Amino acid sequence: MALHLGDTAPDFTQDSTEGTIHFHDWLGDGWGVLFSHPKDFTPVCTTELGEVSRLKGEFAKRNCKVIGLSVDPVSDHEAWAGDIEETQGHKLNFPLLGDADRKVANLYDMIHPNANDTLTVRSVFVIDPNRKVRLVITYPASTGRDFREILRVIDSLQLTDTHKVATPVNWKQGDDVIIVPSLSNDEAKKLFPNGWDEKKPYLRMVKQPGK
Ligand code: BEZ
């Protein structure tokens, strides 16, 4: 069954390029990104894994670990890693699950049979410290993802959790944000003592907290 936002991310134990992963233990008390790619030794996937390696520090700044997956065995991942470093200039620096038995792919509904009945699509799950699924994205095999967008969503989610603000269309770091509708004006006054720009009673813009 498909996972929905707010569901608990299923736990699993699976082999990886960094040894056996017990997923919930591996997540610890931080955030996590679990993403699948269709197949090792393929061009788009090669560029994606190089990019995620390049961005690992950005994920770490957000207290977020990253872990990849395909239904290839760990031995293939290990053989492919050299190509990723050679062609993308970044050494693979996060675990790749070897999900040859499709245990995790099935748990997370990463195989979409009408697209391809054996390979995983490009799924992304962002998981919060309570192990709840907070973002689900699915891309086709032929389209490489923009992982800066995943970072942007994590920033937005963390702002919501910490400061009770939502982020508007095309928001980027430093732009004004929106006081969540569930917060009354009386409650908002405590959190935003400098006030806000009330464009409509339901559209209350405020400077990004912490900026
Ligand atoms: C790729 O990563 O380039 C790819 C993988 C599977 C199907 C199509 C493209």
Q: Which amino acid is at 173?
A: Q
- Residue range 166-191, pLDDT digits in tens: 999 999 999 999 999 999 999 999 99
Ligand 1 atom with minimal separation from the 46 CA: 2
Q: How far is the CA of 46 from the centre of ligand 1 (A)?
A: 9
Q: How far is the CA of 110 from the centre of ligand 1 (A)?
A: 15
CB 121 near ligand 1, within 6 Å: no
Tell me what pLDDT residue 1 has: 73
Q: What is the 3-state secondary structure (H, E, C) of the chain?
A: CCCCCCCECCCCEECEECECEEHHHHHCCCEEEEEECCCCCCHHHHHHHHHHHHCHHHHHHCCEEEEEEECCCHHHHHHHHHHHHHHHCCCCCCCEEECCCCHHHHHCCCCCCCCCCCCCCEEEEEECCCCEEEEEEEECCCCCCCHHHHHHHHHHHHHHHHHCEECCCCCCCCCCEEECCCCCHHHHHHHCCCCCEEEECCEEEECCCCC
CB 143 near ligand 1, within 6 Å: no
- Residue range 85-139, pLDDT digits in tens: 999 999 999 999 999 999 999 999 999 999 999 999 999 999 999 999 999 999 9
What number of other Cβ atoms are within 10 A of residue 92's Cβ?
23
Which residues are registered as beta bridge partners of 31?
A: 64
- Residue range 59-75, pLDDT digits in tens: 999 999 999 999 999 99
- The total number of residues shown for the chain amounts to 211
Q: How far is the CA of 194 from the centre of ligand 1 (A)?
A: 51
Catalytic residues: 45
CB 43 near ligand 1, within 6 Å: yes
Ligand 1 atom with minimal separation from the 43 CA: 3
Give nearest CA residue, ligand 1 atom 1.
Answer: 44
